[in-house]
Structure 1
Amino acid sequence: MLRPRLFHFLFFLFFILNLSAQDKGKVMPFKKIILEIEKQHGVSFNYTEDNIANLELNPPKKSLSLEQKLEYLSKKTNLSFENIGNKFINIYKKDKVSNLICGYVFSVLDKKPIENANISFPDKTHIETDSEGYFEFSKQEKNTFIISHVGFTSKRITAGNTDSKNCIQIFLEPEITELQEIKANAILASGISKNTDGSLVIKPKKFGILPGLIEPDALQTMQQVPGVNSLDESVSSINVRGGTHDQNLFLWNGIRMFQTGHFFGLISVFNPNLAHTISIYKNGSSAFYGESVSSVVAISSTPETEEKNSFSAGINMINADVYAKYNLSEKSYIEISARKSITDYVETPTYKEYFNKVFQNTTITDFSQNQNVDYQSDKKFGFYDATLKYAQKIGLKDQIVLDLITIKDNLEVFQSASFYDINISENNILRQQNYGGNLSWKRNWNSFNTTKINVYNSTYELLGNQKTTYVNQIVVQENTVNNNGINLENNHILSPKFSFNNGYQFNEIGITNFEQVTNPDFYRKIKDVLRTHALILEGKYNDTISRIYLKTGIRINYIEKFKKYIAEPRFQFCYGISKSMNLELLGELKSQNTQQIIDLQKDYFGIEKRRWIVSNNTTIPIQKSRQLSLNLFYKKNDWLLDVENFYKKVKGITTSSQGFQNQLEFVRTTGDYEIWGTEMLVQKKINHFLTWFSYTYNENNYHFPNYEYPVFPNNFELTHTLSWAGIYEKNNFKIALGTKWSSGRPKTSPDVSRIDLTNPVLVYNRPNDSNLNIFSQVNLSSTYKWETADGIQYKLGISILNILNRRNEISEYYRISSLTNSIEEVDTFSLQRTPNVSFRVSF
């Protein structure tokens, strides 16, 4: 019994002596002691220098555990120690513990601390986190604060019952936005912005004003952008960097639209009071966009944020429209719009100018010009469009959206005349319509992964029916397109700087061309179907600190019918040379399996003579394009300079798709066009006044190797284009004055020296050997908005196109007159002076 007791006594004595020995060891600075502990145990201490200044004591024994050492230091000093997961240790003075709030800020993605996160308080003061993500502040009344950091979603924190013994651990989620970071606002007008990826974004509900426009028409607005033109003033013939209209991809809520214009091109089919976001890509488009070798115009009517119930109605001198948005519940809403022409009831001055512009030099006006006795005509024209959206959130992660759109133009013309006691009459019907539907499902699996699936269909029809009583003949022409498919897109956020997208798309397009003639009898019906599969991979790096943005992707198409693979790489690179200057490099390879051609200029009465066809991979090749552009963008002190140099080449074009009205009109061959040029925009804002000047230069040539003249200027070449606008916006009043000037488009002159005037046959010089006269136009527009006490808004607008009433020639060709048997020159002119007035009410 003695030995065990003796053993315990000796052990107790040894332990007391050991502790005593520690106290009597060498005294060390407190800071050196905790540095040794950090090194030994792999932890990090957080403290303020004032709390440990001039503090010295004997260090704890190295053999003790971390908790034992902290307990020892706490007893020997007036300090408290908080251990966070054996990784971070906070040091406070004991008399201040109850007056402090502390915390750590981490990224929820990789659990790493966020340095320099901003903690702001209601009294406008703020502090920042250190390298470990740690912060602390005196409790007082600052128990509510907001934590924010670039690239992360801000978070509001209330810490009323928190003290320093229980530091808050806060996790910030990366900020997820549908649109890329905006590089500059108010380009050309308020509501138009430029993104880091090079695209232009139009927000119709924030749109200001542009010369000649009183509504934010998407397709009219994009014609103000350098490099975008319409040689015949039509939204159905938009040329982007030398391309034809059918080479542009127009999407409305994911539905491909084959008809873009009402009134045969003078008005956009997209209701300007509906769209929430319009994105325009001249180059460097996402790999998720296929089937185009020129630009992309993507229109989305889905709001980025929740909106209140709203209603508006408006009228102008061409059409009337209504728009309504109603929240069915907290998780669902319905949105409708409808627009209809008023030409059924009244022929306004605007309508008359539009009618004269559209129907000049068509078979309809030719009929009246060729007959000069007892001529009578009865014309009926009208159009409408309507849309429906239904959105439903399911739980916290899912949303379903249904979009429907219908568009229709209808023209009926009955003409009769008596000519040398012979009665001649024609009854013409021309109908153009486009229906579309899209059902989409989106799921947010978590903060970093989302999936989108949408199924769509688009149906287009162009029908012409002509009855001529004199020869008892009926001519029917029909062009129909049925396009459907499914898109799958996955988005993954790997870090605040990196994201990765992948997806799959299936597309089926069937096109039918039908012609039937009686007396003499003729029947032809051709239907072609193409099915395409596409695999998409895309990655993005966006570092806002180093000002580097890089997005690369590849689209791999597989065409079933031809058993053919086509790879389409895309990239967008932007580097911020300084806060005011960016350098941008864009490039893409794209392909297209459909195009519009003209068989005969008089098809469909010469009004809408283009018909859609599908590639056969031989006589109608798959069109392929490659494009590269280098852009310098400068913005400082309300000055803006945007200079872009570009090169573009499109292979696989056909002569029938280019609208020739010379010796190539009946030639069928394939080739390419090559264009290079410079686009420049200079803009200055002075208080409420904004002015800008744009200039475009390009060299655009055809290459048809199998033709006798293999190289000659492109039909859509405008070597020089200049635009200027002055815009004043203050409060609710806006006014804009602007001018357009361009060198004339190419034309082909006849070789008079080789024509026998007694029996004339057209003989031409080299294709596009000369040019039309200069095009010049001055436009004006103004709007005024006011609101009543009960919240009803009214808006009045007025615009005048071509104020100076200049007679601008936009096309010229030659033909043999059936009446005089001579060669006559046929000129087509732009709109004459055209006024328009609009009135709108919203609440």
Structure 2
Amino acid sequence: MEKRIKGIAIFFSLLFFITNCLYAQDNTDSKTLSQIITTVQEAYNVQFNYAEDVIDGISLKPPNKNLSLSDVIIYLENNTGLSFTLMNDNFILIKPRTDITLCGYLKGKDSLGVLPFATVQTIDRSTTSDKNGFFKIKIKNPLQLITIRHLGYKTITKPYNQFKISGCSDIYMLSDFQLLSQVIISNYITSGINKIDNGSFQIDFSNLKILPGLIDHDVLQSVQAFPGIQSVNETVSNINIRGGTHDQNLILWDDIKMYQSGHFFGLISMYNPHITQKVSLRKSGSDVSYTDGVSGTIEMQTNHEVNREFKGVIGANLTDVNGFADIPINESSSLQVAARKSISDFFETPTYTAFFDRISQNTEVASNATTITNTDKTFDFYDTSLRWIYNISDKDKLRVNFINVHNQLQFNENAIVDQEEESRDSKLTQNSIAGALHYSRVWNDKLKTDLEVYETDYKLRAINANILDSQRFLQENIVSETSTKLKMGFNLNKRLQLLNGYHFVETEVTNLDDVDNPLFRFLVSEVVRTHGVFSQVGYKTLNNKTNLNVGLRYNYISKFNKSIWEPRLSFNHHFFKYFMLEILGEFKHQSTSQVINFQNDFLGIEKRRWQLSNDEEIPIIRSKQISMGLNYSHNGWLIGVDGFYKIVNGITTQSQGFQNQYEFFKSNGRYDVKGLDILFRKYIEKFSTWLSYSYMDNRYLFKDLETNYFPSNYNISHTATLGMTYALNNLKLSAGLNWHSGKPTTQPIFENQIVNEQVNYEATNASNLDDYLRLDISAIYNFKFSDKTRAHLGVSVWNVLDKENEINNFYRVKDESIMETVQKSLGLTPNAVFRVYF
């Protein structure tokens, strides 16, 4: 496994190095104007006079060495937009031209047809092309940016000196092949959160102002702002989409499937917020190119456009220090790099302490046997992310992604053995490393292909030292997955688009339990390979009032010789001007799930381990779901109502986290959930307030356990959220109140709690914990250090009321009496951030 991980890192390092070396060789012909001036001065014995800022940033190919001095001056004027005046035989004055004009004929790159009515803009002027595609616009200086836009074509933005300046030449625009998803409801909850015409919700972090309790753009905390999305234990590693478990979520980072979600074992997202530009949430109606995620899909994306201007961010909060750089390599390539590192090595903050106490609560880390003490408890995490884009040509684009995440918890167990003090280390590590290559080509205005290849690896490893028994217990859970996907998009006409493709996935899961005293070793490694073929038709009316995507995916799992057909549907229609009807539906399957064998596995911190289906006692999980929604949007008001019904077959008791009479039972069954999500939102420029409510009836059916349905462990019947944000110039404020009914629990029968030395439970999940209530606030202030440098200062308080919410409980028999263990939520937890953008 370690060799494989090292191989991935070496492969992407070599790919990055070799490609950049080749790219650098391709651009050796271009030199800065300053370098060219030096060469011309030596060759023609002349002297140039100019201000440094006049020529700064201008690059071009050197003039031919056989040209005369007058021809060199003409060449430089035509290709820089500057004025070169020969004052005498050996003195040339360079200054900005006052009569700079850009003109040209706009044409389609593929069709070569003229493009009338295109918009051409500078910072202070604008014009449109005529019926022949011709335009003419005045420019202040050679470095001024010109933007050219035309519907159906990719926008051109570059400085004047990068156009072909001599004469009014042809300027070609590349077809924007993809039918881009369109926003149908903007500011769905607050600014930066939108509803898209394919049925998904999207958070654009470049426009997102603030959310209650969050001062960083925590990706997986942010998606919980939507109705129907919550976490029963407040962690991003246990997100429940409409009553499903976390392992039933498909989590993608730039099209790479991820098997780990958070740092601090789930309290904060492991995805760096600076490099993650957008996140899309799909509760249902997925695109046919997606597999897995029977409950929902969370898709994160970096910026896929080449950056031409350096951008950087450095910052720190009460848990980590972080940095980000967006580095332009040249006109066709840019690199993004991001990193975070916990600050616990240097000092412990109140936030760190609250997080550590929360994750270690009721585990061996917090308490051990009465004769054993735990000391030197430390926790450390870091993550690094990379995204590199190379526009090989107008039609070809290459993207490379890499992510590496590490969490480590360590402590010493100390005891007196045979009148001597002994100490042994216990440790838990959690790692993810993944890399991907994405190549797309636009063949013409009808056909586009995308090739996606990724390798993702996850490893959970624990060493539990038992001093009293002189025992070392090693546990490992390893997931290694390789995926290759080819997509072909066809634009049949302006209204119809066809998507076809093939997808191959190989997933290997290894589980190890190793004890040294007495000797015991249990190792299981399994592989499942899946072939998928998919096709989808997209239809959109010319007035964009109706949008339909309907498709079918065929999956073949070779190990089980099993075929699975999965239809998908996404439909929305605008009517009566302010109303929209939406219908979403899908069939899905997945072969992986997370299970709990024992509550003290992996030190009890991250006790879930991934496993593969064997199509027998561990079935393939399959889901069917449909939803229908009605939205009204007008004058800043939004009212949305969504009803849904979902059936998921093939779940196991081990995947559901039972801690009652079924804790050690192994059975498979199903759950179905029906419910309603309601949202009221009012948006007034700088102020946004919303109230959401969700109702859910979530129930299990395990025929080997009970003949009738009983409530699911994730049946949070009622959930309500009241939130508001306010922006005043550079100050942004937000507050949110979160309430939901208590998590289901199974209590002992009153006055008959113990039978045969075991807990005598009531009907399964017949009771509930106390209701949950949490108030969060946050504030962010932005200010400038200079024209190019700005700063960001923020503070937040999670659980302002410091309410001790119960998020879980269980019962055990000890000394012939019942002992209840209660797990509490985070208490009052402050955080602060300071960040500089440059």
> Deviations 1:399-434 (Å, cap 9, x if unpaired)?
222111100101111132459978675531101001
Q: Residue 359 of structure 2 aligns with which residue?
A: 358
Q: Residue 381 of structure 2 aligns with which residue?
A: 383
TM-superposed deviation, 1:654 = 0.4
CA contact (8 A) 2:119 2:150 kept: no
The answer to whether structure 1 residue 631 and structure 2 residue 629 are counterparts is yes
Distance 1:247 1:374 in 2: 38
Distance 1:439 1:801 in 2: 39
Which amino acid is 1:641 matched to?
I
Q: Could you say if the C-alpha distance between residues 760 and 425 of structure 1 is closer, same or farther in structure 2, counting changes exceeding 3 Å?
A: farther
Q: Residue 686 of structure 2 aligns with which residue?
A: 688
Q: Residue 92 of structure 1 aligns with which residue?
A: none
The answer to whether structure 1 residue 762 and structure 2 residue 762 are counterparts is no
CA contact (8 A) 2:372 2:413 kept: no
Q: Residue 318 of structure 2 aligns with which residue?
A: 317
> Deviations 1:174-229 (Å, cap 9, x if unpaired)?
75446411112222222111101110111122221010001111100011110001
Q: Residue 839 of structure 1 aligns with which residue?
A: 834
Q: Residue 394 of structure 2 aligns with which residue?
A: 396
Moved more, 713-722 or 537-546: 537-546
Distance 2:153 2:198 in 1: 20
Which amino acid is 2:519 matched to?
D
Please state whether the residue corresponding to 1:353 is helix, strand or coil: helix
Please state whether the residue corresponding to 2:802 is helix, strand or coil: coil
The answer to whether structure 1 residue 588 and structure 2 residue 586 are counterparts is yes
Counterpart mapping for 1:680-759 below 5 A: 680-756=678-754
Moved more, 244-253 or 571-580: 571-580
* 801, 811, 821: which one aligns with 1:804: 801
Q: CA RMSD in A?
A: 3.2
CA contact (8 A) 2:783 2:792 kept: yes
Q: Residue 346 of structure 1 aligns with which residue?
A: 347
Moved more, 786-795 or 300-309: 300-309
Which amino acid is 1:189 matched to?
T
Distance 1:108 1:343 in 2: 55
Please state whether the residue corresponding to 2:602 is helix, strand or coil: helix
Q: Residue 433 of structure 1 aligns with which residue?
A: 431
Q: Residue 775 of structure 1 aligns with which residue?
A: 772
Which amino acid is 2:325 matched to?
A
CA contact (8 A) 2:414 2:423 kept: yes
TM-score (norm 2): 0.80
TM-superposed deviation, 1:388 = 1.6
Distance 1:327 1:194 in 2: 32
TM-superposed deviation, 1:751 = 2.1
The answer to whether structure 1 residue 460 and structure 2 residue 461 are counterparts is no
Q: Residue 614 of structure 1 aligns with which residue?
A: 612
Q: Residue 192 of structure 2 aligns with which residue?
A: 191
Distance 1:412 1:140 in 2: 67
Q: Residue 565 of structure 2 aligns with which residue?
A: 567
> Deviations 1:739-758 (Å, cap 9, x if unpaired)?
0000001000112444458x
Distance 2:753 2:420 in 1: 34
The answer to whether structure 1 residue 301 and structure 2 residue 296 are counterparts is no
CA contact (8 A) 1:794 1:842 kept: yes
> Deviations 1:212-256 (Å, cap 9, x if unpaired)?
001111100011110001010000000001100000011111211
Larger radius of gyration: 1
Q: Residue 13 of structure 1 aligns with which residue?
A: none
Please state whether the residue corresponding to 1:366 is helix, strand or coil: coil
> Deviations 1:426-481 (Å, cap 9, x if unpaired)?
53110100110001211111233211112110011000101122211110111001
Q: Could you say if the C-alpha distance between residues 420 and 689 of structure 1 is closer, same or farther in structure 2, counting changes exceeding 3 Å?
A: farther
Q: Could you say if the C-alpha distance between residues 421 and 440 of structure 1 is closer, same or farther in structure 2, counting changes exceeding 3 Å?
A: same
Which amino acid is 1:762 matched to?
V
Counterpart mapping for 1:822-833 below 5 A: 822-833=817-828
Q: Residue 182 of structure 2 aligns with which residue?
A: 181
CA contact (8 A) 1:192 1:203 kept: yes
Distance 2:418 2:747 in 1: 36
Distance 2:217 2:438 in 1: 26
CA contact (8 A) 1:211 1:781 kept: yes
Distance 2:783 2:156 in 1: 37
Distance 1:837 1:155 in 2: 40
The answer to whether structure 1 residue 252 and structure 2 residue 247 are counterparts is no
Q: Could you say if the C-alpha distance between residues 179 and 385 of structure 1 is closer, same or farther in structure 2, counting changes exceeding 3 Å?
A: farther
The answer to whether structure 1 residue 218 and structure 2 residue 213 are counterparts is no
> Deviations 1:542-576 (Å, cap 9, x if unpaired)?
11416110011111101010111101110101111
Q: Residue 789 of structure 1 aligns with which residue?
A: 786
CA contact (8 A) 2:781 2:792 kept: yes
Q: Could you say if the C-alpha distance between residues 652 and 510 of structure 1 is closer, same or farther in structure 2, counting changes exceeding 3 Å?
A: same
Q: Residue 230 of structure 1 aligns with which residue?
A: 231
Q: Residue 520 of structure 1 aligns with which residue?
A: 518
The answer to whether structure 1 residue 292 and structure 2 residue 305 are counterparts is no
User: How many residue pairs end up in the alignment?
Assistant: 715
Distance 2:421 2:709 in 1: 49
Q: Could you say if the C-alpha distance between residues 641 and 112 of structure 1 is closer, same or farther in structure 2, counting changes exceeding 3 Å?
A: farther
Q: Residue 338 of structure 2 aligns with which residue?
A: 337
Q: Could you say if the C-alpha distance between residues 709 and 661 of structure 1 is closer, same or farther in structure 2, counting changes exceeding 3 Å?
A: farther
Q: Could you say if the C-alpha distance between residues 711 and 426 of structure 1 is closer, same or farther in structure 2, counting changes exceeding 3 Å?
A: farther
* 404, 413, 416: which one aligns with 2:414: 416
Distance 1:336 1:399 in 2: 19
TM-score (norm 1): 0.80
Distance 2:207 2:129 in 1: 35
Counterpart mapping for 1:52-91 below 5 A: none
Which amino acid is 2:749 matched to?
D
Distance 1:365 1:178 in 2: 54
Moved more, 772-781 or 306-315: 306-315
Distance 1:598 1:772 in 2: 22
Distance 1:263 1:179 in 2: 37
TM-superposed deviation, 1:119 = 8.0
Q: Could you say if the C-alpha distance between residues 552 and 379 of structure 1 is closer, same or farther in structure 2, counting changes exceeding 3 Å?
A: same
Q: Could you say if the C-alpha distance between residues 484 and 785 of structure 1 is closer, same or farther in structure 2, counting changes exceeding 3 Å?
A: same
Q: Could you say if the C-alpha distance between residues 266 and 307 of structure 1 is closer, same or farther in structure 2, counting changes exceeding 3 Å?
A: farther
CA contact (8 A) 2:205 2:278 kept: yes
List alignment gaps of at least 5 residues for structure 2: 1-104, 140-146, 158-169
Q: Could you say if the C-alpha distance between residues 312 and 742 of structure 1 is closer, same or farther in structure 2, counting changes exceeding 3 Å?
A: same
Distance 2:583 2:663 in 1: 38
Q: Could you say if the C-alpha distance between residues 518 and 107 of structure 1 is closer, same or farther in structure 2, counting changes exceeding 3 Å?
A: closer
> Deviations 1:144-198 (Å, cap 9, x if unpaired)?
9x99986677999xxxxxxxxxxxx999987544641111222222211110111
Distance 1:119 1:336 in 2: 35
Which amino acid is 2:829 matched to?
T
Q: Residue 55 of structure 1 aligns with which residue?
A: none
TM-superposed deviation, 1:385 = 0.5
CA contact (8 A) 1:109 1:495 kept: no
Moved more, 201-210 or 506-515: 201-210
Which amino acid is 1:831 matched to?
L
